Amino acid sequence: MVTLSRPDRDFRRIYHLARSRFYSYEKAPLFKADWSELVFHHFKVDPEALQVNVPFDLDLFRGSAYCSLVGFKTSRMFVNRLGEWTRWMHHPISHHCFLNVRTYVKHRGEPGIYFIKEYVDSLPAIPAGRCIYGLPYVSASVAFDHRLLWGKAKGAVATRSGESLRYQSNRTASAISRNCECGSLDEFLVERYSAFTCLSRKKRVFRILHEPWEFLDLDTDWLDTSLLEKDFPWFRTAKFAGSGWSAGAFDVKISRPRILR
């Protein structure tokens, strides 16, 4: 189980590094958005099996590779240059649920996330995400209740092939909302502000900026993982490493994509 320990006074250090990197490349974000009701599920995986499907060098924590499933809702997304009043124009692509499958990589010394696949319940969002950012969006039925009412969260993802993913999580008895401890596994897994993609052999990077995450620990029961076992053979030997819940990140700044040579 991932333990979210009490942070030390430097828990914002990665955020400050990310902020400096963001504005060294960008004068202003391309998009802004809110991400809410997030649940993170973490797994320890075989690095050799995973690397075959990842076109960037894996970033390891004490010699181990990890992948994560992250389910959340995005809303209030708009083009920053056009102003917040234009949110209504972006509604078809800005309000939907995701479940992304991601791992952790480095490119020329920059740590980040690599998106392996993203299950999305909005058809209009799929071509936009693929064309602009090279995101590996696929259409799916995605249903979450991550409000943590009565300390519970649940989610279900299904595709036309018939396989599905279903889980139910419960807030642990001792869970306290907190930031990540400096140098911990939690920090390694969630304090990531660069995202790498590769679609049609075209590698891209974009950067995000938001306040450091605050979490509660969750216990999770896996009701069905057939979707992941079908799509990712390496998942069959993955070892569950813990779950966490966050109310969200708001006014998230998202940069334009950059092609990597």
- Convert the pLDDT of each residue in 198-252 to its tens digit: 999 999 999 999 999 999 999 999 999 999 999 999 999 999 999 999 999 999 9
**Structure tokens belonging to residue 167:** 């889980």
pLDDT digits 0-9 by tens, 62-112: 999 999 999 999 998 888 887 665 665 666 667 789 999 999 999 999 999
β-bridge mates for residue 206, sequence order: 195
> How many CB atoms sit inside 10 A of residue 216's CB?
20
Distance separating alpha carbons of residues 12 and 187, to the nearest angstrom: 10
CATH architecture of the domain with residue range 32-259: Beta Barrel (2.40)
β-bridge mates for residue 32, sequence order: 78, 253
Average pLDDT of the chain, as a whole number: 92
Beta strands in the chain (DSSP E): 31-45, 57-58, 65-79, 96-107, 110-120, 137-139, 141-145, 152-158, 164-171, 194-199, 202-209, 216-224, 239-254, 258-259
Q: Taking the domains of the chain in order of start, what are their residue ranges?
A: 32-259
| Residue 6 pLDDT > 50 | no
Res 50: pLDDT? 97
The pTM score is 0.92
| Residue 9 pLDDT > 70 | no
